[in-house]
Chains A and B, each alone.
Chain A
Amino acid sequence: MDISFGSAALHIAQSTGFTALTSGHVIMLLISCVLVYLAIWKQFEPLLLLPIGFGCLMANLPLSLMSNVDEGGLLNFFYQGVTHEILPPLVFLGVGALTDFGPLLANPSTLLLGAAAQVGVYTTLIGAVALGFDMKEASAIGIIGGADGPTSIFIASKLAPHLLAPIAVAAYSYMSLVPLIQPPIMRFFTTPTERKVRMEQLQPISQTVKIIFPVLVTIVCCLMLPGVTPLLGMLMLGNLFRESGVTKRLHETAETHLINIVTILLALAVGSSMTAESFLKLETIKIIVLGLLAFSMATAGGVLFGKLMYKMTGGKVNPLIGSAGVSAVPMAARVSQKVGAEEDKQNFLLMHAMGPNVAGVIGSAVAAGVFVSLFGDPVAGADPHAAVESLHQIASVIGGGK
Chain B
Amino acid sequence: MNGLLGDAVTVSIISMSVIFLVLSVLIITIKVLVRLMPYEAPPPKPVKKTAASQTAAATSSEADEHIAAITGAMTAHLGQNPGHLDIKPL
Residues of A within 8 A of B (CB): 104-105, 108-109, 111-112, 114-115, 118-119, 121-123, 125-126, 129-130, 134-135, 138-139, 200-201, 203-206, 208-209, 212-213, 216-217, 220-221, 224-225, 359, 362-363, 366-367, 370-371, 374, 385, 388, 391-392, 394-395
Contact = CB atoms under 8 A, between A and B. Distances in A.
Contact of B7 (A123, A359, A388): A388
A109 B16 CA distance: 17
B90 interface: no
Nearest to A127: B8
Candidate in A104, A122, A139 with the most chain B CB atoms within 10 angstroms: A122
Given A201-B78, A388-B10, A111 B39 contact: no
Candidate in A111, A125, A216, A359 with the most chain B CB atoms within 10 angstroms: A111
Contact of A126 (B9, B14, B41, B79): B9
Contacts, number: 119
Nearest to B15: A370
A138 B39 contact: no
Given A108-B30, A224-B25, A366-B23, A391 B8 contact: no
A209 B31 CA distance: 10
Interface residues of B, number: 35
Contacts of B20: 112, 115
A118 B19 contact: yes
A208 B7 contact: no
B22 A366 contact: yes
Contacts of A225: 18, 22
Contact of A395 (B10, B26, B27, B30): B10
Nearest to B42: A207
Nearest to B16: A122
Query: Secondary structure at chain A's binding surface: helix, strand, loop or mixed?
Result: helix
Contact of B11 (A205, A216, A217, A391): A391
B27 A208 contact: no
Contact of A111 (B8, B14, B26, B33): B26
19 contacts: A105-B30, A108-B31, A111-B23, A111-B30, A112-B23, A112-B27, A115-B23, A118-B19, A126-B8, A213-B30, A220-B25, A221-B22, A224-B21, A224-B25, A362-B26, A366-B19, A367-B19, A371-B15, A374-B15
Nearest to B77: A201
A363 B23 contact: yes
Contacts of A134: 4
Given A201-B78, A370-B18, A114 B30 contact: no
A343 B1 CA distance: 46
A111 B24 CA distance: 8
Nearest to B5: A129
Candidate in B4, B8, B10, B16 with the most chain A CB atoms within 10 angstroms: B8
B12 A125 contact: yes
Contacts of B78: 201
A260 B8 CA distance: 37
Contact of A394 (B14, B21, B27, B41): B14
A108 B27 contact: yes
B76 to A, nearest CB: 11
Nearest to A106: B34
